Structure 1
Amino acid sequence: MDFDFRCIDEKLDYSPDSTGEIKSTGIDPEFVIARNTERKVISRFKDDSWDYTPYGALSKIWFDSWWSSEKGPMDGLARTLTDEIKTLHWLSGFETTSNAGRSRGLAYLAGIIQPLRAIAKMCHLLGISLAEAEHSPHFQVGLRTSIANAREGFKDSIRLDGLLKDLNYWQGVEKITCNVPRIVPEADLSDVLALCKKSHNRKLERRDPTPLVPTRLFGKLIGGALAQMEAAQPYLPRLEALIQAVYADPLLWVCDSHSYMVGLKRVKRVYPDKVFPAWSKRANEPTSPEGVLARFGLTDYAEQHMQFEDFRDIEEHISHLQGLCVLLIHAFTGMRTSEVRVMPHEPVVHGFAKGFGDLPVVVSHLKKFTDKGNYSKPLVWATAEQGLYAVKIAQQIARLNWFRNRPADAPLPSNLPLFIAPRINRIDNRGHYPIPIATRISETSNWRSLAASLELVIEDEDMEELAVFDAFRGWDEKPEFAVGKLWPLASHQLRRSVAVYASRSGMVSLPTLKTHFKHLSEVMTAVYAEGCSFAENFLMDGEGKPIDDGSVLFNFRESVAFNVSVRFHEQVIESQTPLYGPRGAEFQRAKESGALPKMFESREETQKAVKQGKLAYKETPVGGCALKGSCPHFAVDVVLPCTSDCKDAILMPEKLKTYVDSLQYEMEAHSPNSRPYKLIAAEIDHVTKTYLEPEEMDA
């Protein structure tokens, strides 16, 4: 077998070089890649651009284009990655036996550079070479997530499919003695290829998955929305009293005859039968906006959060606060826009799940499963403390809009939507509620305004993160995602982001997300698990049909299963140090005897086991835990319950050492005679003698 250029139909007198084998040192840097029609060499392997135009290509191929010139010269890792993708590209053009019926012409060589560039960028951000990618759990998560997230049908899916198959094949070619990166472990190859196929099918269906909101921006969104709502909460009763007064007296918020007429029109809408004197008879009685704000104790709030110069500014601010509530409900439920819009005024219910206790959930309806404009029977969504808080604030804001349309003594009806429209003096034609639902909360302009108020400005680190976990979207080619611009926030982005980040709550590095989504993850697990009283209610629509695969439940399960399988294999199955604890020792014995069950043989099998409920795994400060459900013993104590023969504990030496170090540091804050000091000392002694000293002796 010769390595010969196979992208031209016949041997030309100006063809590239050929060779009989690839030595362990790699491809000769002086190897001729291309000659022009005068037989002059125009490209060699060592070059960072190859010119195949004499053979029919439309343009040159640039291998260093993945590296931004703004970063300056390539560092050592960038140089290694560029040489690695050149090697893979060369093999795609010159290795003559791996075609297996797949087209490998010049169009393929031009197209394959795109996924190779994306993969190189992912690796550099993770600090690894292509050769190391196979063994990096973070790269494997990023690769799969990127394939799953790729929009516009991911036109590179077939090229990536072929490349991964070729990489696997080249491992067994005897005449290739240099290191050829696998990129994907052999055991996981079929799973990733299936994901590529699914992405290709999505192209045929013209379904474009939405991008994930970067973790920094998602954390900023959550933190900023909560901060604004917490700042407003103490003033909402005062704002309600102001609105009741201004909508009853046209002399409030008045400076001249024109503003009096505006106020009169506003009041007559709520009190149509009430008679008010003309401006000429009351010109000395009005109260200015400043006076009204002072009267109701809102001056400081107005100065800090908005200059309420016109009464329409107050109305705009109410809509803004309503939008913040919508944001947080999306972020802590994963509900669709249509589902958030039709939430009832009292949406919070509680249920009990074994192993989890009392669970807060919110109720709404699925508009998509109706054909007459009404809504399905009530369904539930898991939420967390922040979601409940957003509902509480939304209920107060609903009162503000109610009293903008009804007298101050008008009671709120029982059948009321959570998000009331600013104008409700008409019947809701959709029939579900007797008054209209706010529609502005779902408008694009409102989402842009919210993004601006939360300062969701794209930074380099956001795009670097997306280059790892959503690599094949071509971010550099999309001006709306340029650094320095506002993130183009949309409600449907939050749906997938919630499922992904809740499932990764133990993996994300941003404290805001890890803290907020850890609890949400447990509630989702309980509410959406088979056997929970809410499960059937959530899994079926109003007609008893299964909910489609686009549900937050489906995304959450898929993400949980994949992330659990990655962490479990990395930390337990592939651990190079002995495992302790009841479950840890059990896994250790099975590994040493070669008796691991089938579901632990590969990440794919483990992922299936997680989906089927046969396995659960989560990290702990001392190792891992295989408990299915929420731990009833784990609290905020310094001394953990995991080390005292917990039957589900998987204890790891390195984490145990860190745990002991933290305990020793904690001891310094207590008196030697105190009970906490003695408990900590006893725990240090127990862990050291039971686990660490035997491990040192074995070493």
Structure 2
Amino acid sequence: MRALLHIPESVFQENKLGVQHVMELFKAEHWKELNEIVVSRDHFGAPASKFGEEYWDLSSYVDTKITNKKGIFFSEIASEYLSMEMKLICFYWMYVAGKPRTGPVIKTTTLISRHSKLNQVFKFLDSYAFKSVETLSHPLVFSEFCSYIQNQQYSIGNCEHIFIIVANLRRATGVLPFAFLSPTDQTPKELAKEYAAKDKIKRDQFYAIPTRLMELIYGKALSIVEALHPHRDLIHSLLTDLHDNYLLGKKEVDEKIDSGQWQWLKKGDPAYRIEVSKFKPSKDFEIIESYIQETPLATLAPTNGSKFKGWITNVQTACYVVCAAFTGMRRSELYGLTADSFKTRIFNNQKYYFLQSQHHKMMQGRPQTCEWLTVPIALKAIELAEALSRNMRSQLLIDGDPIRVHISDCLWLNQCRKATFPKVRFEGSLRTHFNQIAKAAGAYITETDLDEFKLINPNCNPQHADEKIQLGKLWPLTSHQCRRSFAVFAKRHDLCSSVAIKQQFKHLDVPTSDWYGEGGLDSKLSYFQLDVELKGFLRDVQHEMVTEKIHDWLNSKDELYGKMGRSIMKERKTTAQIFSSWDHVYGLVKSGKLNLVGTLHSYCLAGYDCQMQKVSSPAACFTCENQLIDKEKAKNWFQRHKWAKEKLLYLDSVGELTASGYSHFVTQIKAAEKVMHHFKIPFSKLKMDGTKYEQI
């Protein structure tokens, strides 16, 4: 059987037959044959895991650059039959029913995540000595299970995911050889709200960083990148020499072991590393000193070998922070950055900077190549990170192992021990060095920071926040905080719209982007104070401007258009005496009897009583009795006519013009032509073959 990230129909049918065979073996209790079924393979097609094994190796089906979870365990379940049931469910999810509502495809990372929740269900069954998951169908057993979950003191999100897994089991009834019928009508969300820990009912949104702390941390990361970027090639040469020095020592020791001269030592012994260190031609500190003496690095880099290694990781972390801070990328997307990720584009004579990476979220099969808008300093961060990882990437590239070759373009590698291959850094390593950067920046929390934290993080769980965010403590930086802070800062300072954040963050909808920007608008409004006197002054100015417009229309001979415009032109002689007084018109405006709102194409004398639902299609306003168009607004109709013509002809040229699209643009074009004809504005009529479209 073959497990692919995207399953062609032929493979799906093949897998379906294989799953039916597995189900039959389970029903017949042919355990020996069932245990020999291959459930996963390596990159070369050889079996990696079999059904009966306690660990299923799925490393060939996940991107090892973005996750360190490469398989699933079944060793926590003592009951052999329960363990077999759990394996069968995971096997079913893996090959057939990943998402019953949307199709059979399931990401391996989703399977691994589901397994961790399914494990909670089977640990309950195992601890109470129940024989099968079918017993969970009994109301008393299900009630006991809910109490078990409640005793675990899980958060509402964790609880909901567990109950969603239970719902998935119910949907699998009829396919699996055992059945589960839910004894409750409550939804997973309702069950989670009832049985989650009382202090964890409120979901804890990732934190946005208060401004002062953000400036300190980001500023420190930027200063590290700026200071070391000019010396990146020197650092690379130094790291290469340190590794070559180790290889020479290793070669000496290996020759003594292989020749039989040293029979007392084996390559896996703890003393092996000590002997290699003794036989290195030079000490690490000697190599470091030879490179950095009489250079600016002499005051920046430590000469001690182990401290220098930690310093390099710290510099790499600073590069990571810069890329995260100025793009808002997810961690998985940051791990897709490569040496040539920095791109530039020129639009309308304006130069823009991008980071190119892989987008994995909600993507089936291969990730999608995307770009994130950024700032020029990101280029220095990428180039510095590339130099720091160049030697490690070379080691992985020449090894030949498919997994190592795959991660050989990743910039965020670490090699704790030179005897082992470099590995991708993960959140634990990052957080340690996040703290070091924050400490070096002096990012300790003050009262002002706490006040701002509460303002820009309205959706945080107060209990959790009080534990993590404390006065005088170091700010606990994480990767995702950079993403939240990006959205909040953009909202707070009107740098971009929610739609732009959606595009930058690769969200599926705008509400998700608004959720990420929660707190930004509140913090913006907090800086505004109500000035009653100024507000009154602005209102008076607005009344005067509206009065000036209406008085001019009523008492001049200027051409007007629209139903209201024509009405005013007809009534000018009869209303001249009544409305000739500016003060009289001002009184009507101030009392609200006359009102005026300008749109992009006309004036509306209904004021804000009109909901402006037709503004996006200006031609629709022609039926409104409150529309008025003067000479100034007529110029906008000329521009609208030009735009609608160009859009219509373009859609027609690429074969994407539909009847409804034709109708939408032609109505606007004809309306604009009426306006321009009335005001004697020269224009060229639309010329195109409209026989294949519905005529207006």
Indicate the TM-score class for this superposition, using the shorter chain for normalisation.
0.3 to 0.5
Give the TM-score of the pair, scaled to structure 2. 0.40
> Which protein has the larger Cα radius of gyration, Structure 1 or Structure 2?
2
Give the TM-score of the pair, scaled to structure 1. 0.39
Select the structure with the greater relative contact order (CA < 8 A; seq sep ≥ 6).
1
Higher helix share: 2
